C-alpha cells in the first residue's frame, strides 16, 4: 500500500493513534511508527506554513472562497502538528510513562500558536475574514506569549498547546519537583472546565512522584506497565513514602514540603471541580479523567500513610475498605468544631436526606461486591442495591471529605488531631474512591436504579484497557484495606 499523501489520511492516522492509547481494547504502550511519520510530515516547513497563515488576511469585503479554502488547508496542517505535540507530552503527564526525548528537534517554545477558534470555526469567507483580521496581531509562536501580553484569552486548544510547551516532562529524570508550579501566563489561558482540569492535572503531575504512586497503588503495575524488578519497586515505595511523610515532618524545611502540600491542594481542587462538572452534565474527554484518578490516589495515599502513622505498619489482612462507623453515612455533623460546611450548590440535585441503607446494628456496613476474593464465600454473593451505598450518598460524603481534607491533613495542627479524625477520613476516602469509579464509568448522578449494573461492569464493555485497568485498580484498593501497602 502506497504512503498516504492526502491531508485527511494523516488526520485519520492521528485519530487512530489517539484511540489506541485511550480507548483501545489493548492499549498502545508507546507511540507508534505510524504516528512518528505523521508527526515528522506535519513538521515539514511548519515555519513557512505559519508565515503563510499570518499573511492570508484580506478585507472581509474582498475575501473569496478560494482564499478561505487555501487558509483552511494551511491551518489544518498546523493544527495537526500541534495535536501531535500535545499527544506526545501526554505520554508522561496523563499516561505516566517514562519521559523520553521528543520525536522532533523543535522545542515546545519554538512551535506556533494555533489560530483562535473563532477563525477556525468560521462558516463562510466573510466571517472568516472578519475573525482573521481581529486576531491578526496575536503572537505567532509560543515563545512570544509572555505574562504582560494584552490579548483576548486564548481558547482551549491554544491553551493546551501553551500548557504542553511550558509544562512538558519530556526527558525529565526527576520523579517530581519541589518548586512552585505557578505559571506566569495562567491568566491568559482559557477558563473552561476542560482547560482548568488540564492545568491542575499538569501541575499535580509535576509535584507528585506519579509513577511511584501508581506502582504502589497498582501493586507493582504502573497502569499496564509492569515494574521491571523487585528492586525498582522497593525504590518506588521509598520515594513515595519519603514524599508522603513530608506532610507531617516537623524538621523538614519549608521548600521540601512544597510538593506534597501543593499536591494535596491540587488534588482537592481537581476533585471538587469534577463534582461540579458532573452536576452540570459535563462529559469527560478521552484522557482527561486520568487527572481525577491521580488526585484520588493522592488522597488515598495520604489517608493510608496517616493510618500507618497512627496504627503502625501491619501485615496485609485483605479486609475490604468499609466505613468505620456503625451509622455509616453521611458524616455526623459537628464531629469537629472546624469542619467546613458542605457546598450547598453541589447538593441541589440530591435528596435532603440520603436514602437509608440497610445495615446490621452490630456490624459495619458492607460495600457488597468490593469484598476481596480471599474473604468472599465460595459462591459469589448476590448483588443487592440495598447493600450498596447509593450514588447520592457516595457523592455527599465525597463532598464533605474534600471540604475538610486540607484541614485534616495539611494544617499545622493536623498531626495532633489525626487519631481523632482518622476513622472519619477513612470513611470519606472510601466514598471518594467509589465516586471516582462511577465517574470514570460515566454513571450519571440521576442513575440510582442502575447502581448494581455499575458495580458489576466487566472489562471489555467499551471503556478500553486503560480505563478498565483504572477502575479495576480502584476495586483492588478497596478490597485490600488500609494496611500492607508499605507507605
In Å, how far from its chain's centre is CA 418? 28
Structural contact between residues 105 and 39, judged by C-beta atoms closer than 8 angstroms: no
C-alpha distances in Å from residue 365, one per residue of 203, 329, 453: 37, 9, 20
Tell me the pLDDT band of 239, cut-offs 50, 70 and 90.
Answer: very high
In the three-class reduction of DSSP (H, G, I as helix; E, B as strand; rest coil), residue 56 is classed as: coil
Backbone angles phi, psi at 274, to 5 degrees: -65, -35
Which three cell numbers, joined as nine digits, stand for 359? 445495615
Q: Where are the domains of the chain?
A: 7-173, 211-353+368-377+385-480
What gap in Å lies between CA 132 and CA 268, rounded to an integer? 40
Average pLDDT over residues 78-85: 98
What gap in Å lies between CA 354 and CA 332, rounded to an integer? 13
Q: Which is nearest to 203 in space by CA: 278, 93, 105?
A: 93
Structural contact between residues 236 and 228, judged by C-beta atoms closer than 8 angstroms: no
Mean pLDDT of the chain: 81
Tell me the whole-structure pTM to 2 decimals: 0.82
Structural contact between residues 76 and 7, judged by C-beta atoms closer than 8 angstroms: yes
Q: Which is nearest to 165 in space by CA: 76, 81, 86?
A: 86
Per the DSSP assignment, residues forming a β-bridge with 395 are none
Among 82-86, 162-166, 366-370, name the one with the lowest average pLDDT. Answer: 366-370
Residue 174 has pLDDT above 90, yes or no: no
Q: Which is nearest to 451 in space by CA: 380, 359, 387, 372?
A: 387
Residue 237 has pLDDT above 90, yes or no: yes
Among 132-136, 151-155, 321-325, 437-441, name the one with the lowest average pLDDT. Answer: 321-325
Identify the residue with better confidence: 56 or 108: 108
The torsion region of residue 155 among left (phi > 0), alpha (psi -120 to 50) and beta comes to: beta
Tell me the pLDDT band of 51, cut-offs 50, 70 and 90.
Answer: very high
pLDDT recorded at residue 104: 94
Task: Report the percent of the chain where pLDDT is more than 70.
Answer: 77
Q: Which is nearest to 32 in space by CA: 78, 110, 82, 91?
A: 91
Which three cell numbers, joined as nine digits, stand for 239? 520515594
Name, in order, each residue with C-beta under 8 angstroms of 123's C-beta and a sequence gap of 6 or more.
none
Identify the residue with better confidence: 296 or 349: 296
What gap in Å lies between CA 399 and CA 393, rounded to an integer? 10
Q: How do beta strands 221-222 and 225-226 pair?
A: antiparallel
What gap in Å lies between CA 202 and CA 290, rounded to an integer? 11
Dihedral sign, Cα of residue 345, residue 347, residue 351, residue 352: negative
Amino acid at each position: 500500500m502506497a504512503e498516504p499523501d492526502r491531508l485527511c489520511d494523516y488526520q485519520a492516522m492521528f485519530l487512530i493513534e489517539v484511540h489506541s492509547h485511550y480507548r483501545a481494547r489493548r492499549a498502545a504502550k508507546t507511540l507508534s511508527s505510524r504516528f512518528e511519520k505523521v508527526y515528522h510530515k506535519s513538521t515539514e516547513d511548519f515555519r513557512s506554513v505559519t508565515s503563510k497563515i499570518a499573511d492570508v488576511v484580506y478585507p472581509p469585503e474582498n475575501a473569496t472562497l478560494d482564499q478561505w479554502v487555501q487558509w483552511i488547508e494551511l491551518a489544518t496542517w498546523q493544527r495537526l502538528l500541534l495535536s501531535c505535540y500535545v499527544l506526545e507530552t501526554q505520554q508522561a503527564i496523563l499516561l505516566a510513562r517514562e519521559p523520553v526525548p521528543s520525536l522532533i528537534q523543535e522545542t515546545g517554545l519554538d512551535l506556533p500558536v494555533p489560530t483562535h477558534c473563532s477563525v477556525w470555526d468560521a462558516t463562510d469567507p466573510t466571517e472568516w475574514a472578519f475573525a482573521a483580521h481581529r486576531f491578526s496581531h496575536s503572537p505567532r509562536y509560543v515563545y512570544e506569549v509572555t505574562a504582560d501580553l494584552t490579548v483576548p484569552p486564548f481558547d482551549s486548544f491554544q491553551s493546551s498547546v501553551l500548557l504542553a510547551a511550558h509544562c512538558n516532562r519530556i526527558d525529565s529524570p526527576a520523579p517530581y519537583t519541589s518548586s512552585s508550579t505557578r505559571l506566569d501566563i495562567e491568566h491568559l489561558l482559557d477558563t473552561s472546565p476542560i482547560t482548568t482540569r488540564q492545568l491542575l492535572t499538569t501541575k499535580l503531575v509535576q509535584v507528585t512522584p506519579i509513577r511511584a504512586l501508581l506502582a504502589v497503588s497498582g501493586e507493582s503495575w504502573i497502569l499496564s506497565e509492569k515494574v521491571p524488578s523487585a528492586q525498582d519497586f522497593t525504590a518506588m515505595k521509598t520515594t513515595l513514602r519519603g514524599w508522603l511523610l513530608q506532610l507531617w515532618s516537623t524538621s523538614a524545611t519549608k521548600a521540601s514540603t512544597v510538593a506534597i502540600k501543593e499536591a494535596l491542594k491540587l488534588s482537592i481542587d481537581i476533585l471538587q471541580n469534577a463534582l461540579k462538572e458532573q452536576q452540570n452534565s459535563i462529559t469527560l474527554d478521552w484522557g482527561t479523567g486520568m487527572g481525577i484518578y491521580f488526585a484520588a490516589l493522592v488522597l488515598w495515599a495520604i489517608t493510608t500513610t496517616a493510618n500507618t502513622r497512627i496504627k503502625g505498619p501491619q501485615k496485609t489482612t485483605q479486609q475490604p475498605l468499609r466505613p468505620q462507623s456503625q451509622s455509616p453515612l453521611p458524616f455526623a455533623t459537628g464531629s469537629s468544631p472546624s469542619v467546613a460546611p458542605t457546598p450547598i450548590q453541589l447538593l441541589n440535585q440530591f435528596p435532603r436526606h440520603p436514602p437509608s441503607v440497610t445495615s446490621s446494628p452490630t456490624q459495619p456496613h458492607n460495600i457488597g461486591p468490593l469484598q476481596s476474593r480471599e474473604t468472599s464465600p465460595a459462591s459469589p454473593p448476590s448483588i443487592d442495591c440495598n447493600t450498596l451505598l447509593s450514588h447520592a450518598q457516595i457523592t455527599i460524603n465525597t463532598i464533605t471529605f474534600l471540604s475538610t481534607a486540607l484541614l485534616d491533613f495539611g494544617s499545622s495542627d493536623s498531626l495532633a488531631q489525626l487519631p481523632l479524625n482518622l476513622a472519619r477520613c477513612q470513611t470519606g476516602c472510601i466514598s471518594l474512591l467509589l465516586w471516582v469509579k462511577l465517574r470514570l464509568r460515566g454513571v450519571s448522578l440521576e442513575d440510582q436504579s442502575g447502581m448494581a449494573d455499575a458495580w458489576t461492569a466487566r472489562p471489555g464493555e467499551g471503556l478500553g484497557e486503560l480505563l478498565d485497568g483504572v477502575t479495576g485498580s480502584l476495586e483492588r484498593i478497596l478490597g485490600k484495606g488500609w494496611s500492607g501497602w508499605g507507605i
